[in-house]
């Protein structure tokens, strides 16, 4: 039986391909379980710094497998949410490489990632309301933080798709590519990130994510608690030494 999640790795990057092309990579419990395990592996392994999620055969993810839903099966993992990801993204960096459609839960998977690369003919959307459902896997709470209020409201209430070009214009998509090139550009973006200090990368993400609800009064104190270990790390000294010696740094993540 072909795995519903194909995993390959190299140069510090874990590539995860949703592999249910017969269902447009719709999420079922089996795939969610595999993706949750992959997130745990990404965070646990010192040799992996970043993950990329994409979909097989030109589609990112069409959302929840509605046929499985009718049978009482939900593609959600306790503590991790839809797809084993949306409620508890990994500590390390995650990039979505989107071709075709990222709809409903598929869009919410992309929103749970730190960066999004999309083909210029890709489409996003939250069509849950068309099925009498709501986008509770992050769409309703994350989208208003990424798009203007009224644009997010239109997306959630009409269930209509909007193009990757429009998403890029609003800053929701980091890189817009030719069709078929989203993964290639996502890998290039990932390589640029992995070239940097591992502690610096993960801490930068942590500060950006957690500081959303920090008060102005204590934000620098809270940031200092997270960033002081980075400045006192061996990697910080290595980065400075490599600059002075005009060579590439050799990171240890310590």
Residues recognised as catalytic: 108, 128
Cα(61)–Cα(24) distance, integer angstroms: 6
Query: CA torsion 113→116→118→123, rounded to 10°?
Result: 60
Question: What phi and psi values does residue 180 have, to the nearest 5 degrees?
Answer: 85, 0
CA distance 91 to 74: 25
Exposed, middle or buried by CB within 10 Å (0-12, 13-18, 19+), for 157? exposed
> Is the separation of the CB atoms in 134 and 220 below 8 Å?
no
Query: Which candidate, 100, 96, 106, places its Cα nearest to that of 186?
Result: 96
Nearest to 23 by CA among 61, 80, 52: 61
The residue whose two tokens read 């078929």 is 180
Q: Which residues of 192-226 are buried (b: 16+ CB within 10 A; e: fewer)?
A: ebbeebbbbbbbbbebeeeeeeeeeeeeeeebeee
């Amino acid at each position: 039986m072909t795995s519903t999640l194909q995993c390959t790795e190299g140069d510090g990057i874990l590539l995860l391909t949703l592999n249910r092309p017969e269902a447009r990579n719709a999420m079922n419990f089996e795939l969610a379980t595999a993706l949750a395990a992959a997130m745990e592996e990404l965070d646990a392994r010192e040799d992996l710094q970043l993950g990329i999620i994409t979909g097989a055969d030109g589609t990112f993810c069409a959302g929840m497998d509605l046929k499985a839903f009718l049978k009482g099966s939900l593609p959600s993992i306790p503590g991790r949410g839809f797809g084993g990801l949306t409620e508890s993204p990994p500590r390390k960096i995650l990039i979505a490489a989107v071709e075709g459609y990222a709809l409903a839960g598929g869009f919410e998977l992309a929103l749970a990632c730190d960066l999004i690369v999309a083909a210029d003919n890709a489409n996003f959307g939250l069509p849950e309301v068309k099925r009498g459902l709501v986008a509770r896997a992050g769409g309703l709470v994350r989208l208003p933080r990424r798009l203007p209020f009224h644009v997010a409201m239109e997306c959630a209430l009409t269930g209509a798709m909007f193009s990757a070009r429009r998403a890029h214009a609003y800053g929701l998509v980091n890189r817009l590519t030719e069709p078929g090139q989203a993964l290639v550009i996502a890998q290039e973006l990932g390589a640029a990130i992995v070239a940097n200090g591992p502690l610096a990368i993960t801490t930068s993400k942590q500060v950006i994510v957690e500081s959303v609800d920090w008060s102005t009064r204590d934000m620098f104190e809270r940031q200092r608690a997270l960033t002081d270990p980075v400045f006192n790390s061996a990697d910080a000294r290595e980065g400075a030494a490599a600059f002075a010696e005009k060579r590439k740094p050799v990171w240890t993540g310590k």
